[in-house]
Structure 1
């Protein structure tokens, strides 16, 4: 009895069909840790906590800086969904 095994090795990930990965537009960013997309969905970024924009002094300035950096970072990213689920954000560095 002879068994034959074959395997397929891909050097690059297989492309995702366009229909499964619609792009989302960013409507606004609340403080530095919550994003509102153009479809109205809200995502709370995890892994850090931003102060609120209405905080006074250095906390408010820190929130404004976090919002600026997250906005800059998100504008470079593309977000997709798969079977109705939004894909997670791996890392945000502020």
Structure 2
């Protein structure tokens, strides 16, 4: 998105070129800055495998998790008990 905004200075064609460059190099820039999130493959109760991102928590293979919104949280986590769980990703 920032590539498109910076490219927009050059008009509509600059915006398209900027968006393309941002799409190509944005992920590597985030990774270099340490801003990319971990992705976990989670098996749901129904047996389906889904990918979830977790910017705040780190899990090991086999850890049980609950999904709140679109984020995995430690097993037993609820919004009411969130303060009792340490966020180990920071």
TM range (shorter): under 0.3
- TM-score of the pair, normalised by structure 1: 0.25
The structure in which a higher percent of residues are strand is 2
Relative contact order higher in (CA < 8 Å, ≥ 6 apart): 1
